[in-house]
Amino acid sequence: MKFLVTGGAGFLGSSLANYLVDQGHHVRVLDDLSAGDQGRLDSRVVFARGDTRDIPKLWTLLKGVDCVYHLAARVSVQESALYPVEYNEVNVGGTVSLMTAVRDARVKRVVFTSSGAAYGEQEAQPVPESARLKPASPYAVSKMAAEGYVRALGALWGIETVVLRVFNVYGPGQSIPPTHAPVIPRFLKQILGGGSLVIYGDGKQSRDFVYVSDAVDGLVAAAKASGIDRAILNIGSGQECTINTLVDAIERVTLRTAHRLYNQTESGGVQRLVADISLARDKLHFRPRVDLEAGLQRVLKEDRQFRTT
């Protein structure tokens, strides 16, 4: 098959693109490199630098493509509160432009990676796809809006669409930007460097951490499965983990003791957010295989930024 992966130089996108090309597929990647790194990509992946709002460029890249994976987005909850206009333009406007180009190119299927953040605070846990969305940030709102456009335009224009609400992905090669870094690589870097772990809130807030290869398995299955047009499916581990429990696991795999600093003036975000993955199990035969501690051990073993410590 022929694929286009938008945002394909990012952490999850590059993992997907490299897996697909290893399986013998033809893969094109579009990424503006605002957060991605072309160096992550296998040399067999065809790379183009650009923006999903550039419809003429999309027409070129979409020629002969069977399925589009749309991962390109601005992704920081905290940053989105500072730049809501940009998040709307990129995450929503870019999605509408992409769907327009997909229609023109007559691509069969679009797999859109949304986010578990769209759920917001929910009483029932794990959270099923039927839960009423309560987005609590401009980022989450933009993902909810993009979902709506993907499904509505797909139905209007005869494009098969699948929305995957992906939870907290981690694994080797995840970058640590100077601000708003993902929690797992940030904590690993801090504990291995002998620094303190700054925990927002009381650390009792829980998340669903899914290893990158498991997330890729879900994405791959969504391109091939039948009977899932306009489906919305959660992709996560299905396991609840508090931030304090995460630190406990990091201490075990690193054989270090963390100095924990609790910043009670900063919110830890929603209190609980765990994926109900029963629908993905049914529709995609999705079976996460890597538990948290095994995943952390793989990160330490395979990620260059942690090897020298």
Is there a catalytic annotation at residue 149? no
d(CA 112, CA 120): 19
Look up tokens 């079976």; give the residue. 287
User: What is the separation, in whole angstroms, between the first and last Cα of the chain?
Assistant: 41
Count CA atoms within 13 Å of residue 31 on its CB side: 26
CA distance 53 to 92: 10
**Prior bond to 126 cis, omega within 30?**
yes
State the Cα angle at 223 between 281 and 232, rounded to 5°. Answer: 55
C-alpha angle 105/162/159, rounded to 5°?
30
- Which entry of 139, 149, 170, 200 is annotated as an active-site residue? 139
Compute the chain's Rg from CA coordinates: 19
**Strands (E) located in the chain:** 2-6, 26-31, 46-49, 67-70, 109-115, 160-166, 168-170, 196-200, 206-207, 209-211, 231-235, 241-242, 259-263
CA angle (80 as vertex; 79, 82 as ends), nearest 5: 70
Contact 74/139 with Cβ under 8 angstroms? yes
| Residue 240, CA distances (Å) to 127, 208, 275 in order | 11, 5, 8
3-state SS track over 224-245:
HCCCCCCEEEEECCCCCEEHHH
Q: Tell me the C-alpha distance between 150 and 113, whole Å.
A: 11
Q: Looking at the annotation, which residues are catalytic?
A: 139
